[in-house]
Amino acid sequence: MATRKSPRKSNVSAEELTTYYREMLLIRRFEEKAGQLYGMGLIGGFCHLYIGQEAVVVGLEAAAEEGDKRVTSYRDHGHMLACGMDPKGVMAELTGREGGYSKGKGGSMHMFSKEKNFYGGHGIVGAQVPIGTGLAFADKYKENGRVTFTYFGDGAANQGQVYEAFNIAALWQLPVIFVIENNQYAMGTAQARSTSTKDIYHRGEAFGIPGEMVDGMNVLAVKDAGEKAVAHCRAGKGPYILEIKTYRYRGHSMSDPAKYRTREEVQKMREERDPIEQVRTMLLDGKHASEDDLKAIDKEIKTVVSNAADFSRESPEPQPQELWTDIYAPEIPQEVN
Ligand SMILES: Cc1ncc(C[n+]2csc(CCOP(=O)(O)OP(=O)(O)O)c2C)c(N)n1
Ligand SMILES: [Mg+2]
């Protein structure tokens, strides 16, 4: 199957394009700010930025409906923002403050929102794949028509538990979309050094799971593919695999010497394939927006991000007695919403 290079353009409204522009820009600016706060020593622990990959979550969220679920790895800030979580709560969690989504006790890799059906944030590579499959099992059991987006990386795709999850998802025809965010590197290891095949989307064939490859730098291509996968799952046909080819501009985490690729490689991707620039060009060329309109959006996003950063510095640190809370569930939940 070929990469989707020329998604439909004709029936995309100016409003829709502007929404994607705004959502991707929010992630980009938020991550840049997180990088700055990390540099200032305000964020402790690990911090994995999503810069470059914005079209993946924004495109897939455009294909999702209310009540659908998502779960991902440690590179999770973009997923949270794209599903509508509050930038203030996310940033305050990064700085370990009370106003954070996990009350400042989880940090970058461990945030959740029941309200937005965001099930983490997981630091163990691949751990979220069986979890996402389990969420889909609950939905199938309850016959509620919901779909779970289970995101993982190209590196994680080589893990055994992924294939155990594929097997059970196919056997029970679970409504789960396995989203492989192939950013071409697993820490410092290029895909070609770790993975026996160039493409990964066909890894479900042995289980009867259809898969397709998607241009992850093009938000419209991602949305199209997402809609197809969602329709497949909602029709009760079981799981679907999307291998979304993308690229991260920053290091694996904030402490990455970046010796495994050249500056030129990153620069080329930024100049030729940037997902935000692509939408910007579509908006301007199609006369859907003027330079001034886009400047106004940039300004608005800047304010949202700077308010989030202010909140993340002003919110107090958690009280010491918080060490003893949120450890065990007070009761075993009988009903999962
Ligand atoms: C089970 C396990 N093994 C190793 C690690 C260390 N580790 C953290 S991220 C990572 C690479 C994963 O790469 P990929 O799945 O491609 O995701 P990306 O970071 O590119 O988003 C590794 C090996 C870990 N966290 N968990
Ligand atoms: Mg990767």
Cα 125 to ligand 1 centre (Å): 5
**Dihedral of the CA atoms 245, 150, 140, 230 (nearest 10)?**
-30
For the chain, how are helix, strand and coil distributed in percent, rounded to 5?
45, 10, 45
Residue that the structure tokens 């402790």 belong to = 44
Cα 144 to ligand 2 centre (Å): 32
What does the H/E/C string look like for 285-297? HCCCCCHHHHHHH
Going residue by residue through the chain, which has 337 residues, state the pLDDT in tens, using 9 for 90 and above: 444 444 444 578 999 999 999 999 999 999 999 999 999 999 999 999 999 999 999 999 999 999 999 999 999 999 999 999 999 999 999 999 999 999 999 999 999 999 999 999 999 999 999 999 999 999 999 999 999 999 999 999 999 999 999 999 999 999 999 999 999 999 999 999 999 999 999 999 999 999 999 999 999 999 999 999 999 999 999 999 999 999 999 999 998 988 999 999 999 999 999 999 999 999 999 999 999 999 999 999 999 999 999 999 999 999 999 999 998 887 776 765 5
Residue whose C-alpha is closest to residue 194's, from 152, 153, 166, 165: 153
DSSP secondary structure string for all residues of 86-97:
-HHHHHHHHTT-
Nearest CA to ligand 1 atom 11: 186
The contacts of residue 301 (CB under 8 Å, 6+ apart) are 22, 25, 26, 29
Angle at 102 between CA 97 and CA 104, to 5 degrees: 20
Say which ligand is closest to the CA of 151.
Answer: 1
Question: Do residues 174 and 238 lie in contact, with contact meaning Cβ atoms separated by under 8 Å?
Answer: yes
d(CA 247, CA 244): 10
Instruction: Give the ligand 1 atom nearest the CA of 127.
Output: 1
Q: What is the pLDDT of residue 130?
A: 98
d(CA 93, CA 110): 9
Q: Which residues line ligand 1 (CB under 6 A)?
A: 73, 75, 123-125, 153-156, 183, 185-187, 252
Residue 175 neighbours by CB distance under 10 Å: 27
Say which ligand is closest to the CA of 252.
Answer: 1
C-alpha distances in angstroms, 324 versus 36, 101, 108, 327? 32, 17, 20, 7
Instruction: Give the ligand 1 atom nearest the CA of 156.
Output: 15
**Would you kindly state where each structural domain of the chain is located, as residue ranges?**
14-311
Cα 334 to ligand 1 centre (Å): 33
Instruction: State residue 70 phi and psi, 5-degree precision.
Output: -145, 145
Question: Do residues 100 and 219 lie in contact, with contact meaning Cβ atoms separated by under 8 Å?
Answer: no
Query: 14-311: CATH homologous superfamily?
Result: Thiamin diphosphate (ThDP)-binding fold, Pyr/PP domains (3.40.50.970)
